Structure 1
Amino acid sequence: MVNKITVIGAGNVGATCAQRAAEKELADVVLVDVVEGMPQGKSLDLCEASPVEKHDSRVTGSNDYAQTADSDIIIVTAGIARKPGMSRDDLIKTNAGIVQSVVGEAAKLSPNAVIIIVSNPLDAMCHVALKASGFPKERVIGMAGVLDSARFRYFIAEALDVSVENTHAFVLGGHGDTMVPLPRYSTVAGIPITELMEKDKIEELCKRTATGGAEIVSLLKTGSAYYAPASAAVEMAEAILKNKKKILPCAVMLDGEYGYKDLYIGVPVKLGIGGVQEIVEISLTDEEKTALDNSADAVRGLVGTLAELGY
């Protein structure tokens, strides 16, 4: 049986998710958006590229959810994007309503799916999606650390003039300015970057990673990042569909792990069939734990705002 991925939101992130998933032949893809004609047009365009790209995945555009039934993965990208000077937190009022609505619709038709949240502010939107879907926490996951770690990996490779394939990195915490890059767990061909770079340079790369999304927003001026976020979401989808059991940093609901409870925050997890198969707890220094506590407090603030708004 052919896998099915539903992508909700046919903007730049959603359309690129559909493209990445189709070209990897992970599944047939249904691209959903409220704008009439847009998901249909982008889907047809992607299908017409398939002979050149040499894949047989089907991409279907729709303005309703009927064709999404029995999806294996639901990737949620719907919502307004950040504008220059706008923080992820500023998005919460508008995007909470959107995510609640689209997740509720899609979950009814695909009760066994795994939901991957990309919409911002990401950690808060995971809380909204968990409640709207009624799914177990293992099947509602936020795409955060994969993207943040990819940015950190690229900056490390660029600074050291090495292949990105040799770089590995971990970024934990909330998906925002309080995220926590972990240089001790970041390596080049197995060598910790603390052995390869001066402390000041590492701190510079950590800061750039934390503001990586804002840097792109400031350059584009009329939009936000979409190539890397789409790649990160599709890597998660691939790990789940192929039961790869990849260890990836993702936003998950914690139940006492790392000292947090009833809170979505980015930590290393094992992804495979069914979503989160295991939460991996790593040891943190006092300084790292303090930074993670600070990030957790920021997420709690967003959850508090959701509660005030009735979500």
Structure 2
Amino acid sequence: MFVVESLGRTSSPSFFYSHLFQNIANEICLVDVVADKLKGEMMDLQHGLAFTRHCIVKADTGLDYSITAGSKICVITAGARQREGESRLSLVQRNVEIFKGIVPKLVQYSPDTTILVVSNPVLFIFGVYIASVDVLTYVTWKLSGLPKERVFGSGTNLDSARFRFLLSEKLKIAPSSCHGWIIGEHGDSSVHHILYALVAVWSGVNVAGVTLSNVKPDIGGKTDDEHWEQEIHKKVVESAYEIIKLKGYTSWAIGLSVAKIVQAVMSNSRNVFALSTNVKGFHGIKDDVYLSVPVVLGANGLTHVVKQNLNEFEVQKLHESSNALLEVQRSLTI
């Protein structure tokens, strides 16, 4: 069984659709404080079960978390938006308080669970936009008391998928045959800050083992006459805003991404994902900070981090993200 805590208007429907048609689990538990929406989503899913493999769908308003007992994985999508006149630090702390009411209860009834954090309310702090999914994943780890390998965020997994898709269009091959990663902070917060905090690992982009930087040494750099950075990296950052402008919100891609992550845990697939995890000890980072890097994911969470051979610029940008997030973490009361 797995739990979804809080039903957002964006990714939840597509996530459930993906789950049911990929036969990921035999039981889903929905938890939300909005009772009417919760009941409606549960009924809608239940009425479609005749067209899928057998799956139990149940729900609760969050007053009694015993319904979640024995969950293999818990997916948290809850998060507060900024109120008019509210300070940014107040918004962060308010989200921390929400998580205080969720995380300990999930762990109480499912002490062996893994937790995936998808929540990503926009935070503008200390003059820059911060990817809150990374901050909230750190908060979840601290509140849960679970080993760090069993608490992770959706991070830049979708950003990496967008990166590969745009690469595939330029190279005219399938996205699955393009290998490239976006690391650092998740990229749906701000073009101005995240363009630099969301790190495209150009040094590792390859097709069939052929590294593009060996063929074109200036790829992604300032002297790149084909403008790969402008055409691809910048579009990775801006694509979410374009979708939101056109349809009001993002849904299908993030839903598919989350479903694939959950499937990896449920099936012990040991696939590699770009997830937000504790990066202390990697690439010279010395603090408990959550950033996205490639990781191997299995039944018990993260089995290990894939240590990429980053160039000096990529390491520098990773450290800048680490320092920004650390400053936010130190301002919190957990």
- The answer, yes or no, to whether TM exceeds 0.5 is yes
Partner of 1:130: 141
Mapped partners of 1:215, 1:95: distance in 2:
27
Contact 1:144/1:250 (CA < 8 Å) preserved in 2? Answer: yes
Q: Does 1:45 align with 2:70?
A: no
Give the CA RMSD over aligned residues.
2.5
How many Å apart are 1:215 and its aligned residue?
A: 3.6
Q: What residue number does 2:102 align with? A: 102
Quick check: 2:179–2:206 contact (8 Å CA) kept in 1? yes
Q: Which residues of 2 match residues 80-99 of structure 1 at below 5 A?
A: 80=80, 92-99=92-99
Give the 5 Å matches for 1:1-311.
Answer: 4-11=1-8, 12-27=10-25, 28-52=27-51, 54-64=52-62, 65-80=65-80, 92-120=92-120, 121-176=132-187, 177=194, 178-194=197-213, 195=215, 199=224, 200-204=226-230, 205-221=232-248, 224-260=249-285, 261-305=287-331, 307=332, 310-311=333-334
Q: Secondary structure at the match of 2:227?
A: helix
- Mapped partners of 2:203, 2:82: distance in 1: 31
Q: Compared with structure 1, are the counterparts of its residues 94 and 116 closer, same or farther at alpha carbon in structure 2 (3 Å cutoff)?
A: same
**Structure 1 CA distance for aligned equivalents of residues 61 and 312 of structure 2:** 50
Q: Deviations over 1:156-190 (max 9, x none)?
A: 22333332222222111122311111122223444
Q: Say which SS state the counterpart of residue 235 (structure 1) adopts.
A: helix
Cα shift at 1:103:
1.5
SS state of the match for residue 78, structure 2?
Answer: coil
Aligned equivalents of 2:245 and 2:169: distance in 1? 21
- How far off its partner does 1:105 sit? 1.9
Q: Secondary structure at the match of 2:275?
A: strand
**How many Å apart are 1:272 and its aligned residue?**
0.7
Report which of the two has the higher share of helix.
Answer: 1
**Residue deviations 1:116-159, cap 9 Å, x none?**
01112111001111122111111100111211101111222233
What is the Cα deviation at residue 40 of structure 1?
Answer: 2.1
The normalised TM-score by structure 1 is 0.87
Q: 1:111 to 1:291 in 2, by over 3 A?
A: same
- CA 1:169–1:81 in 2, change beyond 3 Å: closer, same or farther? farther
Cα 1:279–1:165 shift into 2, 3 Å? closer
| Matched-pair contact (CA < 8 Å) for 1:23–1:57 | no
Q: Distance in 2 between matches of 1:90 and 1:291?
A: 27
Contact 2:38 2:59 in 1 (8 A): yes
The residue type paired with residue 282 of structure 1 is Q
* Deviation for aligned residue 1:50: 2.9
> In structure 1, what is the Cα distance between the partners aligned to 2:180 and 2:133?
20
Instruction: Work out which of the two has the higher radius of gyration on C-alpha atoms and give 1 or 2.
Output: 2
Q: In 2, distance between residues paired with 1:100 and 1:210? A: 31
Output the amino acid matched with 1:248: F
Q: Is the Cα contact below 8 Å between 1:22 and 1:58 reproduced in 2?
A: no
2-structure distance, mates of 1:293, 1:193:
25
Does the aligned pair in 1 maintain the 2:68–2:106 contact within 8 Å?
yes
CA positional deviation for 1:201: 3.1
Pairwise CA distance, 1:193: 4.4
Percentage identity across aligned positions?
Answer: 28
